[in-house]
Amino acid sequence: MNRYLKICLLVFAVTTCICCTAQNSSDMRSIINHNFNDAGAQYKVMMKQLPAGKLPKTFENDTLRTSNSGWWCSGFYPGSLFYIYEQTKDAALNTEAKRALGLLEKEQFNTSTHDLGFMMYCSFGNALRLDPNNETYKQVLINSAKSLSTRFNPKVGCIKSWNSKPSDFLVIIDNMMNLELLFWATKTTGDSSFYKIAVTHANTTMKNHFRDDYSSYHVLNYNPETGAVQQKKTAQGAADSSAWARGQAWGLYGYTVMYRETKDKKYLDQANHIAHFILNNPNLPNDKIPYWDFDAPGIPNALRDASAAAVAASALLELSTYSKENATEYITVAKTIITNLSSPEYKAAIGTNGGFILKHSVGSLPGKSEVDVPLTYADYYFLEAMKRYKDLGLK
C-alpha cells in the first residue's frame, strides 16, 4: 500500500471517528424525539381500537384488552397521551386525553382503592400541569386525595391497599406511588392532614417493608387493631422472600418523591440504598432491563419486565438531581435503559402491539395475568423517563 493511500485511509478513519462521536453525543435526544413521534402514531392506532367508554389494559392474543375507569391502571392512558402531546403538539392526542378524563372523573369519589394516585394524579395531575389554572382539574384532585385519605388507619400508620377480611390490613409496596397526590393536596389546600398521612405511611413502610439489604417485601399484613405485623409475603413475586422487580422500582420511585416533598435526608438515604440494591444486584442483566423478579427461577432465561425498567429509569433520573455523588451512575443506567427499551427488542413497530409502545412486561406471573405483554404503565413511565432526560438537558 503506497504512502498516499495510507494517509487517505488514516484521514478517513479519524474523520469517521469524529463524526461518530459527534453523532453519539446527540443520539439520545434524536432517539427520544423519534420515540415520541412513534408513540404518537402508536396511540392513534390504539385510539381507533378502543370501544366507547373503555380504557386500554394490554394487548394479548391479537386482542386489545380494556377496562372500565375503576381499574387501577385507568389513568395511565390519558397521562401517556398528555406526555406525547407535550412533546409533539399533536392536538388530536390532547383531545383524546381530555375525552379519557371524562371517563375517569367519577373516580374522584372512589374510596375502595388505594390506587387513586395512579388513577387520578397520573391523568388529572398531568392535565393540570399543562393547564395550571383549571379549577375543575384541581377540585377533582382534591376530592381524590380526600378519598384516598379515608383508607388511612392511624393504629397501623398506613393506607390500606387491598380490601380483605376484617382481621387483615394489607399494604403493598406499590402504595408508595400514591403518596405524591397527598403532598400535592397539602400544597394546594393548606390542609396538612394529607402531608401527615403520606409521611406516616412512608415511615411505617420504611420500618417494616424492607430487609437488611434494602430489598422490599411485596405485601405486609398488619393487625388493624394493634398495628402489629402479621405476615410478610408476596402476591406477584417469585416467593415471599424474593425481590419482585417492579416492587423494588416502586420503592425507589416512592422514596425519591418523599425526599423531593419533605427534604428529609432519611428518605434520600433510603432511595439511594434501594438504588444500590438494584444496580449492584448480581442478577441485573447488562442491558439493565430486570428479570421480572431478581430471584426468579430460570435466570438467565426468565422473562424480563420492561415496566420495572421504565419505572426505575424515571426514578433514577430524578434521584440523580438530589444525590450528586451518584448522579453519573444513575444517569448512565437510565440512559442505558432508555436506549435498550428503544430497540426493536422492546419497542414495537408502528401499527403492531395494539398501539402500545413497549413489549415484554410482566403483570403477575404467579397469577398468570398479563405475562410478557405490553402494559399501560410501562409506556407511561417510559415516556416520563424520556421527558425527564430531556428536561435535565442531558445529551
Strand pairing partners for 219? 172, 233
β-partners of residue 231 are 221
- CA separation for the pair 218, 216 (Å, rounded): 6
The alpha-helical segments, DSSP class H, found in the chain are 3-49, 76-88, 91-104, 116, 126-130, 135-149, 179-189, 192-208, 245-262, 265-279, 306-320, 327-341, 376-391
Cβ pair 306, 358 in contact under 8 A:
yes
351: left (phi over 0), alpha (psi -120 to 50) or beta: left
List Cα–Cα distances, 326 to 1, 236, 303, 320, in angstroms. Answer: 50, 30, 29, 7
DSSP string computed for 180-216: HHHHHHHHHH--HHHHHHHHHHHHHHHHHSB-TTS-B
Sequence-separated (6 or more) residues with CB below 8 Å from residue 269: none
The catalytic position among 115, 293, 295, 379 is: 115
Could you give the angle at which helices 376-391 and 76-88 cross, rounded to 10 degrees? 30
Residue with cell 400544597: 187
Residue type at 368? Answer: K
Q: What is the DSSP letter of 120?
A: I
Cell of 3: 504512502
Query: What are the residues whose beta carbons fall under 8 Å from the beta carbon of 343, sequence distance 6 or more?
Result: none
Round to whole Å and give the CA distance between 296 and 179.
29
Distance CA 264, CA 279 (A): 23
Is 115 labelled a binding residue? Answer: yes
Give dist(CA 335, CA 348) in Å, integer.
19
128, 87 Cβ separation under 8 angstroms: no
Q: Which of 38, 168, 174, 391 is catalytic?
A: 174
Active-site residue, 38 included: no
Residue 307 assigned as binding residue: no
Residue pointed to by grid coordinates 387513586: 116
Task: Determine if residue 250 is labeled as part of a ligand binding site.
Answer: yes
269 is catalytic: no
95 half-sphere exposure, CB direction, 13 A CA radius: 5
Annotated binding site for substrate: 115, 174, 234, 246, 250, 364
Annotated binding site: 115, 174, 234, 246, 250, 364
Residues known to be catalytic: 115, 174
